[in-house]
Structure 1
Amino acid sequence: MAGKITNSLFTNIHFKISILILIIFFITTWHINVKVKKEMVERTNVMIEDIGVSNIHIATNMLDNYGERLSFLKATLSGAGTRNLLYETILKMKESDSSINDIYIEPLNSLHKSNEDIQHEVFVKNKRYYLKFSLRIDSKSQLSMLVDLMGFHQKFSETDTKQVNAYITITKSGVYLYHPEEKKIGTGINKEDINNEKKALLLNTHIIEKVNSDYLDMPVYRYYYPMDMNGEKWVFTANIPNLDLFESIQKTGNDFLMISLLATFAFLAVFSLGILRWRKEFIRRREIEQQNLSLQLRDEQYKQTVVAAELERLKSGLNPHFLFNSLSSLKVLVSKDSDLAKDFAITLSNLYRYLLKQENQNVVALKEELEFTRNYISLQKIRFANKIVTEISLADSLMNYKVPPISLQLLVENCIKHTKISDNEPLRINIFEENGLLVVTNNYNPRESEIKHSGMGIENLIKRYSFLTQTNCHFGVVNGYYIAKIPLLLIS
């Protein structure tokens, strides 16, 4: 009889539909994960290319400027009809630019093809590297400018480029003509860069590779850009720090996929267990009360496990909705304001790096928690278009005090979550210390259609403090302000 019941369950149309829905759910989750990864790769490459081209153009414009000066000198000579004015102009030009070693007239080089071509030549003199720019004057002579690459390095480093997203290098035939580390000028590049440059030159287009920068001592995206310099191939590179944003999102996607897979197996396991219990109850009707008691006990244990898991989730990090909202905001910013999008991505990366760093820690320094909260507030200000005003008044002497991780951020998050925010009624948050307590206040302006929240965040925070100190937390509304106070701890 029990066997017939079990067999009928497995052949039931509802059981088959449930299995089909689970399979569709898993496949859809996998497809979304793959799509998100692909889109992140494309967006990362576009961002790297934009930053790389912008930085490389700064260097090429500086090099072109030397050629423009030669053209100006040639025009001066042609217009004046004498070389006296030319020599005076050369002297002033050398005095105004320390990277120019010499400017002189010499016999024409046979490589000149026209009167307008600026020729480039790299050579070593007295163990120093020089870049020579030449411009044809007439059929017998040319005007040459000798640029000291060390001087060029100094000039480039002093230029206000306002580009802090990358550093560049310039190489020719595997030798550095420019590198932000001065001692590398004139030295050879490493084997990995040699192979990548050969690849870029062979394809005659830019490529992007993820490498480790010995200059920054961290992973970077290296943008290789080959350029023809009068018949010679130079390679410009822009090195953009890898902030692990893509890796973080990829890990989140993989975790979500794993959760979906575990949920599928959990459903099957629970379903199978239910069938076995049903069969056992059918055979052993006399033991039904004992089995019900066992089920109630297991249900209570399950609820306790869920509560513990929720408390641990609140302790360990921001909820997934914040991540998805942040990514949606980032997507909008990328198309509207790329600079702001870059800052947004860096701040978001710092938030999740902090969460990983503080994992399994009961307390952290106030300095670290405050920096984490500042990053969170900056993201919220972007979201609410600066309708949030914050004032933080904490002395440096308080920075070594301890608080539970994510505690200050939770209080600020509650201010934002429960307060009506508009242009006429901005949210004003004050953070200060009072009698050994960290105090967070905001103007009490509750939302008109306030959604009832579980209050698990505050309850969890109170329970965490109960294991750390006898001092109580305080929460309440006083004189039109919502005030939250948590103890500052002196734990070594």
Structure 2
Amino acid sequence: MVEKLMAKLLKSPYFWTGILLFSLVTLYSYHKEKQVEKDASLKIEKMVQSVCISNIGTFKTLLLHQVEQMKLLRDASHHSQKELQRTIDYVAQKNDLMQKISITDWKENDTTYLMRPICNDTLMCIRISVPLGDQSPGNKALTLEIPLSTLHREIAENKSFSYAYLTLSYRDIYIFHPDESKIGQPVEPSNRFNPATDKEKSITEVFSDYLSIPVDRYYEQIDMGGETWTFTANVPGISFKELVTNTHSAFVYMTLFTSIAFIVIFLLGILHWQKEFLKRQQIQEEKINLELKNEYQKQQALATELEQLKSGLNPHFLFNSLSSLKILVSKQPEEAKNFAVSLSNLYRYLLKQERCDSIFLRDELEFTQDYIYLQQIRFSNRIKVKIDVDKNCLDKKVPPIALQLLVENCIKHTKMSYQQPLEVEIYTDSDYLTVKNNYNPSESTSSSGKGLENLTKRYSHLTTRPCAFYIEKNEFIARIPLL
């Protein structure tokens, strides 16, 4: 049963359509996943770059803001020393980074301000100097020293920095680092910016020693106060790549769900198809059984009709035959003996072939000849019969009483006289037995065609070759197949 189901399933177009749809959905999901992953990666890279630029810009703005504050103080010094000190005190109250302001010598040339880190055993700060007069050496300058610890605290408390941690280095020395213990220490070789290998203002995926996780790193070198500062922004890769991972997982789950759904639908389809197959098989078996039953009933009906035909032949024909025998006994005793023998052979044949579907043509021909002899005695030679049967056809078969029925049909429905006797010709033609008589229908008898119809039905159960009954050239011709 399973093998038949699988064989039919593999031949089913619906099965291969389902496989094709499943393959297309899987390929489309995979292609869509890669496309979304690529787009997401590009968007994430831009997002990371934007975050890095924003954080570095905030850091830079914080430092440059101190420069602007120093310039404001410088402008205030043009009024009076007292006014300058009052302004410095006011600024110090508002800004923790501007606590150490002093007047120093200006030694630079052609620059509006100076910003340099100071990292030694006694002092770690960023020194910002703004010239009080012109920008030539020998003048005085207003100088601000921002302790790196204070800068670290200010940045740590600043809510503008998000999604990334920053480092600021000067000549490979940490000026700022989230880990305060590293401030003033050399930058690790793995974290140093190398112009030969590192691309500025681009995203590089590296491993962070500080976070112990992969990060997307962004380098930018900025000139401030006559010096070059290296800003580094580090964005944890996990936080942003989680979107790609979730997208990948979503497509995996979608493909898995589609696969499971297809398998479930496929199995349900098999069960439904199996149920329908068994149902159709049951209906087919019932149909076959019904056809067999109908066939059996038809066979029984035909057998009954044949028996009725034999029974009908017995009383009617027997009555006429006995009447003829009575006349012969008194007038032609010797002929009466032959008549009695033929009549005896006739009924012996009927009893012998009672349960046969077909008999040899030889036996049917002998039976019919006895029947013709009896009828010729009855009708006083108004019946003339010519028999021309090929000897090679004698071992072929016909239904019982078939030939006798055709001859009886000729006698029953033909008007005969001594001047116009009934002329019957029996011969074989290929695989057919033909009975032909002159067409002179009797007016006293009406034909229902029942006998020929029953003969046709009997033949339909024995062969596919048809019987033929027709009138041609004033002759009635009956052709029945030889089996």
Do the structures match in fold with TM over 0.5? no
Q: Which structure has the greater CA radius of gyration?
A: 2
TM-score, normalization by structure 1: 0.44
